[in-house]
C-alpha cells in the first residue's frame, strides 16, 4: 500500500494537470485523490505505520487527520473569507474607484499603469482574483484583440510577481505564512525587490518594443441592476481593502491565526453592507449582500485545495515526503537554490499549491527554521 499511495497521487495529479482535455473538474480529482490516499494508508497501516491491530491504526490515523485538518482548515477559512471580501468589493463595482481614473491611450503609459496597479492589487488580493478583475478592466480599455492578449500576458506576470512578496497575496505565500514558515514583515522586506525586478525586466523590454496608441472600445450602457452611488462604492472598496491589509497587523498584535483576522474583516464588512442596504428593495440589492455574494465565490477552488492538502498530508504521515526530501538533499547536496529553481520550473507546468504543500511537508523547522532563505525562495519561485 506504500507504493499504492504514490500511484494514487500520481494518477490524481495527472488528472488535475489534464483537467481540460479530460473535461473533468480538477476539484473532483483532488477530492478523490485526497480521500483515496488516506484510505490506502488505513488499509496498509500495519506495514506503513508499524501499528498493531485495527484499534491502534484507527487511533493513529484519527490523531494525524485532526492534526492536519487544523492546519488545512486555517488555510481554507482564510481563503473563503478573503474571496468573499473581494467578491463583495467587485459586486459594488469598487475597483472602478481606480480604473475610472485611467484616461491614457498610449500603449507604454497604459502598460506601466496597469501592471503597477496589478502588482500592488495582487499583494492585497490573491493573484487569480486580481487577474480576473484586471482582465475585465482590459476589456473596457482595449478594443483590438492582439493588444488585449498582449496586455493580458503582462497582467499575468505582474499578478504573479505582486502576489509573491505579500503574506495575503499569492495562495502559496499565504500557505507559508499561515504554516509559520514565514513572518509577514520578513517576506515583505526580503521578497519585495526580487518580485519587483521580475516585473520590471519584461516591462522595460516591452516599453522599447511595443509603442503606439491603443483603440478604446465603444461604451456600452447595459445595466441589469440599479446604479450604485459613488459614496457606497468608495466606502466598500476602501473598507474592504483596509480589512485585508489589517489581517497581518491583527495577527501580530493578538497572535491569533490569520483566518481569525480575515473573519473579523468579513464580519465588519458584512455588518456595514447590511446597514447600507437594509431599507432597500431586496430584489434589486440582494447581489450586494454577503449572502448574495457567496453564490459567486469560487467554492470549487476551495474544495480543490482541501483535496490536494489532504493528499499531501497523507503522504507526509506515511513518510513519503521525508524520503523525497532526503533524496533531493543527497542529489543536489542540499543546494536550496537548485531545489527551489526546480520547484519554480515545475510550477509553470503543474499547479503550485501541491508543490508548496509538498515542500512544507518535506522539510521541518529543524532543517529550515522560520524565515530561512529556503522559504523565501519557495515563496518567490513557486
The string of pLDDT tens digits covering residues 201-224 is: 999 999 988 888 888 877 554 455
Nearest to 148 by CA among 111, 123, 181, 99: 111
The larger pLDDT score, comparing residue 280 to residue 110, is at 110
pLDDT band of 350, cuts 50, 70, 90: low
Residue 64, helix vs strand vs coil: helix
Q: Give the integer Cα–Cα distance in Å for 77 and 183.
A: 19
Question: How is residue 110 written as a grid cell?
Answer: 497604459
pLDDT at residue 52 greater than cutoff 80? no
Section 114-135 average pLDDT: 82
The larger pLDDT score, comparing residue 48 to residue 78, is at 78
Question: How is residue 23 written as a grid cell?
Answer: 473535461
Give the pLDDT score at 115.
94
> Rounded mean pLDDT of the chain?
85
Total Cβ atoms within 10 A of residue 201: 11
Nearest to 280 by CA among 289, 293, 271: 289
Nearest to 349 by CA among 2, 17, 32: 17
List, in sequence order, every residue forming a beta bridge with 106; answer none if it has no partner.
213
Detail the DSSP E strand segments found in 207-278. none
Q: What is the DSSP letter of 213?
A: B
Give the predicted TM-score (pTM) of the model. 0.74
Nearest to 127 by CA among 336, 292, 347: 347
Give the pLDDT score at 32.
96
Amino acid at each position: 500500500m506504500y507504493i499504492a499511495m504514490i500511484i494514487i497521487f500520481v494518477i490524481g495529479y495527472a488528472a488535475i494537470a489534464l483537467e481540460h482535455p479530460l473535461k473533468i473538474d480538477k476539484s473532483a480529482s483532488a477530492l478523490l485523490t485526497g480521500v483515496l490516499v488516506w484510505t490506502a494508508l488505513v488499509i496498509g497501516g500495519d506495514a506503513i505505520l508499524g501499528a498493531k491491530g485495527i484499534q491502534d491504526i484507527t487511533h493513529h490515523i484519527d490523531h494525524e487527520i485532526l492534526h492536519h485538518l487544523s492546519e488545512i482548515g486555517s488555510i481554507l477559512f482564510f481563503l473563503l473569507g478573503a474571496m468573499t471580501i473581494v467578491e463583495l468589493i467587485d459586486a459594488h463595482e469598487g475597483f472602478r474607484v481606480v480604473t475610472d481614473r485611467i484616461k491614457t491611450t498610449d500603449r507604454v503609459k497604459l502598460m506601466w499603469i496597469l501592471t503597477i496597479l496589478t502588482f500592488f492589487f495582487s499583494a492585497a488580493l490573491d493573484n487569480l482574483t486580481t487577474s480576473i478583475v484586471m482582465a475585465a478592466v482590459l476589456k473596457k480599455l482595449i478594443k483590438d484583440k492582439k493588444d488585449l492578449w498582449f496586455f493580458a500576458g503582462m497582467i499575468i506576470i505582474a499578478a504573479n510577481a505582486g502576489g509573491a512578496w505579500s503574506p495575503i497575496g499569492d495562495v502559496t505565500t499565504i500557505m507559508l505564512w499561515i504554516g509559520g514558515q514565514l513572518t509577514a514583515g520578513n517576506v515583505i522586506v526580503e521578497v519585495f525587490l526580487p518580485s519587483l525586478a521580475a516585473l520590471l525586466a519584461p516591462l522595460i523590454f516591452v516599453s522599447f518594443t511595443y509603442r503606439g496608441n491603443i483603440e478604446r472600445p465603444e461604451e456600452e450602457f447595459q445595466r441589469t441592476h440599479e446604479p450604485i452611488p459613488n459614496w457606497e462604492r468608495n466606502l466598500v472598496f476602501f473598507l474592504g481593502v483596509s480589512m485585508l491589509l489589517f489581517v497581518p497587523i491583527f495577527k501580530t498584535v493578538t497572535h491569533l491565526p490569520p483566518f481569525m483576522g480575515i473573519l473579523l474583516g468579513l464580519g465588519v464588512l458584512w455588518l456595514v453592507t447590511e446597514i447600507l442596504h437594509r431599507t432597500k428593495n431586496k430584489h434589486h440589492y440582494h447581489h450586494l449582500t454577503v449572502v448574495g455574494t457567496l453564490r459567486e465565490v469560487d467554492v470549487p477552488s476551495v474544495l480543490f485545495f482541501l483535496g490536494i492538502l489532504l493528499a499531501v498530508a497523507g503522504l507526509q504521515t506515511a513518510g513519503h515526503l521525508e524520503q523525497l526530501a532526503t533524496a533531493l538533499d543527497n542529489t543536489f547536496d542540499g543546494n536550496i537554490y537548485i531545489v527551489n529553481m526546480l520547484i519554480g520550473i515545475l510550477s509553470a507546468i503543474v499547479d503550485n499549491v501541491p508543490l508548496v504543500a509538498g515542500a512544507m511537508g518535506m522539510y521541518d523547522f529543524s532543517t529550515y527554521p522560520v524565515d530561512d532563505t529556503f522559504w523565501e525562495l519557495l515563496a518567490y519561485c513557486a
